[in-house]
Structure 1
Amino acid sequence: MATLRRYRTVVSDSALWVDFPFRAGDVVLSPPAKCGTTWMQMLCALLIFDTAEFDRPLTEISPWLDAVTYDTAATLATLESQRHRRFIKTHTPLDGLPFHQDVTYVCVGRDPRDAMLSFENAAANIHPDAMSSLDPQVAQLPAPDPLDRFWVWADADLVNDTTSFGVTLANLVNHVRTFWDRRDEPQVALFHYADLKADLPGQLRRLAQVLSIEVSEQRINELATAATFDHMRGRADELAPGVDAKLWRSNENFFRSGTSGQWRRLLDSAALDRYQRRVVELAPPDLVEWLHRP
Structure 2
Amino acid sequence: MTDRKLYLGPLTDNRRWDMVKIRPDDVIVASPPKCGTTWMQTIIALLLSGDVEVETELSFKMPWVDIRVREMDEVAERLEAMTHRRCLKSHTPMDGLPLDNQAQYICVFRHPLDAHFSYRDHLRNTPLLWFDLWYLEDDPERVTFRRFLDGGAEGFDTDAMPLAHILRHYKAAKALADRPNVTLFHYADMKRDLPGTFAQVAALLGVSYPADMMAQFVQVARFDNMKTNADRYAPSAGKGFFKSDEAFFQSGSSGKWHGQLTDDELAAYDAMMNAKLTSAERKWLEFGAAS
TM-score (norm 2): 0.91
Partner of 1:170: 164
Is the contact between residue 56 and residue 233 of structure 2 (CA under 8 Å) also seen in structure 1?
Answer: no
Give the whole-Å Cα distance in 1 for the aligned partners of 2:283 and 2:237: 36
In the TM superposition, residue 89 of structure 1 has moved relative to its aligned partner by 0.7
In the TM superposition, residue 58 of structure 1 has moved relative to its aligned partner by 2.5
Identity level (%)? 31
Give the whole-Å Cα distance in 2 for the aligned partners of 1:34 and 1:146: 25
Which aligned segments of 4 or more residues in structure 1 are displaced greater than 3 angstroms? 138-141, 145-148, 242-245, 268-271
Give the whole-Å Cα distance in 1 for the aligned partners of 2:79 and 2:255: 37
Partner of 1:267: 261
Question: How many corresponding residue pairs?
Answer: 286
TM-score (norm 1): 0.90
CA displacement, residues 45-103 of structure 1 (integer Å, 9 cap, x when unaligned): 01000112234622212111121111222222221222111000110111111111111
Partner of 2:252: 258
CA displacement, residues 215-248 of structure 1 (integer Å, 9 cap, x when unaligned): 2333222101100011111221222123365221
SS in structure 1 of the partner of residue 257 of structure 2: helix
Partner of 2:152: 157
For structure 2, the residue ranges without an aligned partner over 5 or more in a row are none
CA displacement, residues 130-165 of structure 1 (integer Å, 9 cap, x when unaligned): 33xx55xx443626138442232123232323x762
Give the whole-Å Cα distance in 1 for the aligned partners of 2:224 and 2:91: 25
Partner of 2:243: 249
Partner of 2:140: 145
Partner of 1:103: 103
SS in structure 1 of the partner of residue 276 of structure 2: coil
Give the whole-Å Cα distance in 1 for the aligned partners of 2:192 and 2:263: 26
In structure 1, give the amino acid aligned to 2:78.
T
Supply the RMSD in Å over aligned alpha carbons: 2.1
Equivalences for 1:1-294 in 2 at 5 Å?
Answer: 3-55=3-55, 57-126=57-126, 130-131=127-128, 135=130, 138-140=131-133, 142=136, 144-145=139-140, 147-161=142-156, 165-243=159-237, 245-293=239-287, 294=291
Give the whole-Å Cα distance in 2 for the aligned partners of 1:172 and 1:237: 29
Give the whole-Å Cα distance in 2 for the aligned partners of 1:245 and 1:159: 30
In the TM superposition, residue 2 of structure 1 has moved relative to its aligned partner by 7.3
For structure 1, the residue ranges without an aligned partner over 5 or more in a row are none
Give the whole-Å Cα distance in 2 for the aligned partners of 1:75 and 1:146: 41
